[in-house]
Every structure is written in structure tokens, then in C-alpha cells.
Amino acid sequence: MGSACFQIERNEPDLDILQAEAKIKELRETIEKHNRLYHVEDNPQITDQEYDQLVRDLKSLEERFPELITPDSPTQRVGGEPLPFFVKVEHKTPMLSLGNAFGADDLRDFDRRVRQGLGNQTVRYVCELKIDGLAVSLRYENGLFVRGATRGDGSVGEDITQNLKTIRTIPLRLARPVTIEVRGEAYMSKQAFEKLNKERAEKGEALFANPRNSAAGSLRQLDPKIAASRQLDIFVYGIGEVEGERIESHSEGLNTLEELGFAVNKERRVFDDIEELISFVETWTEKRPTLPYEIDGMVIKVDSYAQQQELGFTAKSPRWATAYKFPAEEAVTQLIDIELSVGRTGVVTPTAILNPVSLAGTTVKRASLHNEDIIREKGLMIGDHVVVKKAGDIIPEIVNVLPERRTGEERPFEMPTECPDCGSELVRLEDEVALRCLNTDCPAIIREGLAHFVSRTAMNIEGLGEKVVAQLFAEGFIKSVADLYYLHDRREDLLKLERMGEKSVDNMLASIEASKDNSVERLIFGLGIRLVGAKAAKVLAEEFGHLDKIMEATEEQLIQIDEIGPKMADSIVAYFQLEQVKDLIEHFRQAGVNFEYKGLRVEAGADLPLSGKVAVVTGTLASMSRGEAEEKLTLLGAKVTGSVSKKTDLLVAGEKAGSKLEKAEKLGIKIMDEEAFLKLLETGEM
């Protein structure tokens, strides 16, 4: 249907600009129509292939006539280069948070306060699902989408327009040319969340804890192409302000939003009786696991705008609305066993094996116990009946034991004295609660160390997720991380492995080869030296410039560096004294792995605004990540550290700065808020 309509255009190279303009207009309208049918109304009328062909036709025409490209074209949903940082946006109408209700009695109290505030007028409420995502504001001028922003602190958010354009349920042009600002909740569906985490697991990347975090993280990516790959969605739930439209109630506003082309959640009802509303809320308490997206409660609003205005606001929230929070879902099940696993640093972690139980829409079979002390504190015994809940509705944990249900057949659990993987003696290091295996040849430590080495934050080798690493280790292809750089000699053998096709093998080998050129801090972090995280690895690389110099460094030299304390210095020196580590480094050298620091460096003696100054960044910055801020400070000549001391000259403090800000104030250190920091970056003047 769709593609056939424009067959002539694809074979017609001599279009003049007026003909092209007419065809582009028709294509855009057709694409947006089918986009809405598919994403908003769940009623697709053409195939994916036909839709893709329409987009290709439009893109081809726009490439021939670039002067006809407009911001609302479907081809502009993902475009442009990554942003350097997010710009702050002030909301004309504040995005206030809501008060909370935690049970039926709280809802009755809310109803009583509303009716008293209105002099016992007749009141109607609108009850909607509370989508668990990221609140955003969308502004349209004359029907065109011009800006989208995060809620931020309610008064000031961040401009994330380019990322929001990647969400196909956000119309770029409305059905009518109105000027309006709307509020909505951007979210990630359960299916998209599971797909994303599966892909991240295969790449050895850290998993997102829940759909809400993944949606928020996706929309705060500086590269819109990353946001586009995350399959986000949105429900619009309110109007901030509107010009030229007479709307008298919230329910009428929601209907208007649907008419304009927005996706508005269908699961909403209007009530004039609080008991009926409570019954509706309780129904969704049970039904919420059946939804394809996460909700964390219900929102109840007075329907009439006039009554909303009469009720007004408290200092923090509107008096005419409340958010009902679902109770944390808990279930009782039985502890069948406690399983032990060994991590890359040798830490032995116990995991509870549970009799499968349904919880928050999923079947829970395991729960983390963290360490031996947790088992003791909870008084856990094998066979106990326990209460389980999902922290944040995602991570299962054991809340408490039900000793009254014991039968006498339960048995205590004792942590082993030997490693469950290699049989070596387990030790508890000073000031630690964890038991460790210190055998560097332990298969579990090697396996986990390999997975860490190839991960995104370390050497960033694509195509080597945990399963692939485990397979290569089990088949004897790799026994240490250095063996990865000799796999190219065994390409034909790799092709014989299960799920190892030519393309995947060649891509993996190419990624391994490319990782040789990484700056050395990635290698240092990838080695998994105890107590040395990504930040400390970069500090070492910046300070010494070459891996050989780090290997030769003494404890005295190391503790002179602000970031390196005595324990870390001892760990670094001890690590590089091991003969197997020296052999490992030599294998890296022979394979051509880079040992030099390639990051930002400031020449000694350079006349820069912060030359000789020591700076620290703390808290959350709205316009950039902490890492980006640290790089900008480095370019200005500063030495950036992670802790505040008497040597610190400058602290850049974002929101929720915490203890570092308090310490800087006590020491009389110069403190810059984000506004002052941005001015410093612009002018170069303190």
C-alpha cells in the first residue's frame, strides 16, 4: 500500500522543486499517519518493509532537495552530532511533585481535605496509572515540536530535545497548529528492558537495575543515536500551558491531547465517589504485573481546573492531586539451599536458592545474601520459610526469617573454609567481612577476571560477553587475559565452536586487535588489581605515563599521589612483584598492547588558568557528566583528584554534593557551583 504509492517518484529523476515539495509533503503525512497507527493506536496497516521503504523514499528526496528538509520531518528523529553537554531549561510552569498516599485511609483523608477546601462542593476525580519512568516536558509552537526537557528540580531541567525526538510516540507536528506545553512520562517497556539487558550481558556490560533507570539513563545520553537504540516510549498525562484552546477539566485536557496526536494512557477513569475510586485502585494493585510496562502507583487528580485553582498548592505539591503508592510486594517461600560463587577478586558470595515464588510479575528463584555476616544477622537456616521482596521491584532480597514455621528439620549453614572452585584455603583479610580465595590460578577467578578485562569500562572488547568468555576458557583457548591477543592464530579452530560463525569470529578478533591501542589506564583497570578502580587506574596512568614506570614505583612514590593511600599502594607494589604478573605483562608486550597513557596531559610550565591547581568535582552537574567536567578542568591545567584535602585549591560542587562539600567549607577551599564553573570554562577566569 505505502510503497506502491511512490513508485513513480523513485523512477523520476527530473522532478522540479515544486513537484518535490508536494511529494515530500505527501510522504511525510503518510509516514506520520502510519507511525501513529503503529505506535499510538496499535493498529498497523502496512508492513514494516513498506514503512521502511516510505522513509527511504523521503530520505532520498530530501538528499536531492536539502533545502526542503524541516525539523518536523520523520527523517530528523535521529540526527546531528553528539552534544558536548545538556543546556539548562527553565519551566514556565513548575513541574511539582505530588504528595503520597499509602492506603485506602490516606485516600479518604485526601478526599476529606479536598471537599473541606472546596466548601463541600461536588467533586469529580480522574484516576490514572502512575507510569514508572522519567518525567519530561514537551513544548510545541504553532504545532511544531521545538523543545523537550527533563523535570530536573521542578523549576529547571535539561534540554534533551534531540533524544526525545527518537521516541516515535512523540509527534513532531501536531494535528492542529497550537502552542502548548505538555507533561509526560518517558519509559521503557518490560520487553525492551529485557532485550537491552540481554544485549549488555552479551557484551559484558553492567546491567540496568530496572526499566526506570534505563529510560532515564538513555535520555541523558549525549549521543541521540544511543537513545534511539533503546526503544523508549511515552505517555502524556497533562498540560502545562496552552494558547487558544478553552479546556475546563483534566479529563477534557487528556481527550484534547489525544486529538492532537499524543499517546495518552487508556487505563483512566473518572469518579465522583471515593469508595469506587479506592476499589479501582485496589484492582490495579493486583493487575499491574499484567501490563507491558512498569507502574509504581496511581495518580488521583481533581478533574475541574477551576476547582484545582481554588484549592491551590502547598510549598511542595498541589492540594488537588495525590499519588497512591503500591505496597512493596512480598511473598513467603522456602530457602532450599545456599550456593557459593567466586568473583574476580576472589570474594566468595553466598546466594539463596529459593523454592520458586511469583513476585511482582516474575518468578523468583534466587536472592543475594552478600556475605556471611548477613546470613548470621538474619539467623538463616537451610529449610527456613522466609519473606522475600523485590528491592525497587527488581532485585530479590530476603527480608526476614519466619522462625515460628520451623519444624526442626532445618539445618544451620556454615561458610566453607576452602574455595568451592579450586579447594584453596579461604581467608578473611583485615577489616573485611568477605572471605577470599587468594589462589591466582583459581578457575573461577580467572573466568571472572577475563569477563572484567573485556568489559566496556576496561578494554572494551566487543563480541566477548560472559558466555563467550566462559566458552573460550572451558575449551582451553584462553587461560589468561594475555591469551586473548594470540587468538588470531587460532581462527580456524574458533570457527568450529558452537555459535561461532565467520562474521562473529572476525568481528571479535578485530575488536581484540583494536583494543591494543587503548590508553594504558584501561589495561591497568582491566588487570583487576585489588583496590584499584577505574579512577585510580587513570590517576596512575596520568602520573607515570607508562606501565613500566608504574611497575617500578615504590610504596613511598605511590603514596605521594593524592588518590593513592597506603593500602592501595601496598596492593599495587605486591601485585607487580608477582612472577606470574611479570610474565603476563611480557606477553602483553610481545603482542603489541599499548603501555602508554594517551589521555589528556598538560605540559609542565604551560600558562593555563588552573596551572598548578588541584581540583575536585563532586555532586551531580546538570550540563555534563562528572568525567566530562574533570577533563575540562584538566585542559585548563588543573590536576584533578577524587578526594578533598589541604592540597585542594578548587571544588566544583553540583547538586547533592555531600561530605566533600562540607570538608571543603571547613578547610576554606574555593567552591564553585555549576553556574560559576560554566563561566570559568567560557572565560578562563576564576
Please state, in angstroms and as integers, the Cα–Cα distance from residue 294 to each residue in 131, 321, 486, following that order: 6, 21, 46
Of the listed ranges 168-177, 202-211, 394-403, 554-563, the least confidently predicted one is: 202-211
| Active site positions, annotated | 130
Domain 330-412 adopts which CATH fold?
Answer: OB fold (Dihydrolipoamide Acetyltransferase, E2P) (2.40.50)
Question: Are 158 and 86 contacting, i.e. CB atoms less than 8 angstroms apart?
Answer: yes
Per-residue cell: 397: 532480597
C-alpha cell at 251: 479529563
- Please enumerate, as own/partner, the contacts of 271-275 that have beta carbons within 8 Å and a separation of 24 or more: 271/124, 271/125, 271/127, 272/122, 272/123, 272/124, 272/125, 274/107, 274/108, 274/111, 274/125
What per-residue confidence (pLDDT) applies to 373?
A: 83
Q: How much is the average pLDDT of 256-273?
A: 93
* pLDDT score for 209: 66
Query: How confident is the model at residue 215, as a pLDDT?
Result: 84
Entry pTM: 0.49
What does the buried/exposed string (b/e) look like for 34-57 if buried means 16 or more CB atoms within 10 Å of the residue's CB?
bbbebbbeeeeebeeebbebbbeb
Specify the higher pLDDT residue, 52 or 334.
Answer: 334
pLDDT in tens, 421-447: 999 999 987 777 788 898 878 999 999
Q: How confident is the model at residue 266 (pLDDT cuts 50, 70, 90)?
A: very high
24 vs 17: CA distance, rounded Å: 10
pLDDT band for 6, please (50, 70, 90 cuts).
very low
Q: Which helix (H) or strand (E) holds 144?
A: strand 144-150
Second-level CATH architecture of 4-76: Orthogonal Bundle (1.10)
Which band of pLDDT confidence, cut at 50, 70 and 90, is reported for residue 3? very low
Query: For residue range 582-604, what is the model confidence (pLDDT) as tens digits?
Result: 999 999 999 999 999 987 665 55
- Which CATH class for the 443-515 domain? mainly alpha
Q: Would you state the pLDDT for residue 584?
A: 94
Chain-centre distance of CA 315, in angstroms? 31
Q: Please compute the mean of the pLDDT values over residues 500-529 and round it to a whole number.
A: 93
Q: What is the pLDDT of residue 361?
A: 59
pLDDT at residue 8, as a whole number: 36
Same topology, domains 443-515 and 520-591? Answer is yes
Q: Indicate the range of 5-9, 150-154, 321-325 predicted with least confidence.
A: 5-9
Cα–Cα distance between 389 and 654 in angstroms, integer? 34
Q: Among 18-22, 116-120, 493-497, where is mean pLDDT lowest?
A: 18-22
User: How far is residue 113's CA from residue 307's CA, in Å, rounded to a whole number?
Assistant: 13
Q: What pLDDT score does 344 carry?
A: 85
Q: Give 153 or 639, the one with higher predicted confidence.
A: 639
Q: What are the helix (H) ranges across 130-242? A: 161-164, 190-202, 211-219, 224-228
In terms of C-beta distances under 8 Å and separation of at least 24 residues, what long-range contacts does 499-507 make, across chains too?
Answer: 504/463, 507/462, 507/463
Q: What is the CATH number of domain 99-325?
A: 3.30.470.30
Residue by residue, what is the 3-state secondary structure of 311-336?
HCECCCCECCEEEEECCCCEEEEEEE
> How confident is the model at residue 1, as a pLDDT?
37
pLDDT of res. 652:
93
d(CA 194, CA 288): 18
pLDDT confidence of 392, banded at 50, 70, 90? very low
Kindly report the three-state secondary structure assignment for every residue of 597-662. Answer: CCCCCCCCCCCCCCCCCEEEEECECCCCCHHHHHHHHHHCCCEEECCCCCCCCEEEECECCCHHHH
Model confidence over 618-661: pLDDT tens digits?
888 877 777 778 878 888 888 888 788 888 999 999 877 778 88
Distance between CA 517 and CA 358 in Å, rounded? 48
Alpha-carbon distance 511 to 469, whole Å?
Answer: 14
Contact of 129 with 264, CB cutoff 8 Å:
no
Q: What are phi and psi of 37, to 5 degrees?
A: -60, -40
Q: Number of C-alpha atoms within 13 angstroms, CB side, residue 5?
A: 18
pLDDT digits (tens, 9 = 90+) for 458-513: 998 988 888 899 899 999 999 889 999 999 999 999 999 888 889 989 999 999 99
**Is the pLDDT assigned to residue 676 strictly greater than 80?**
yes
Query: Above 90 in pLDDT, residue 238?
Result: yes
Report CA torsion sign: 250, 251, 256, 257. positive
Place 84 in a pLDDT band, splitting at 50, 70 and 90: low
Q: Sketch the domain layout of the chain as residue ranges.
A: 4-76, 99-325, 330-412, 443-515, 520-591, 614-683
Asked whether residue 54 carries a pLDDT value surpassing 50, the answer given is: yes
Selected from 3.40.50.10190, 3.10.450.50, 3.40.50.720, 3.30.30.10, the CATH number assigned to the domain covering 614-683 reads 3.40.50.10190
Q: Residue 138 in 3-state DSSP?
A: strand
pLDDT at 301 over 60: yes
Percent with pLDDT over 70 in the chain: 91
Give me the pLDDT at residue 35, please: 72
- Residue 360: pLDDT band by 50, 70, 90 thresholds? low
Query: Would you say 193 and 209 are in contact if contact means Cβ atoms under 8 Å apart?
Result: no
Enter the CATH code of domain 520-591.
Answer: 1.10.150.20
Query: For residue 4, what pLDDT is reported?
Result: 39
**What's the pLDDT score for residue 220?**
77
Distance CA(324)–CA(319), nearest Å, equals: 14
Q: Can you give the pLDDT at residue 78? A: 61
The residue-averaged pLDDT of 523-529 equals 93
Top-ranked range on mean pLDDT: pick from 74-88, 127-141, 200-214, 280-294? 127-141
Residue 453 has pLDDT above 90, yes or no: yes
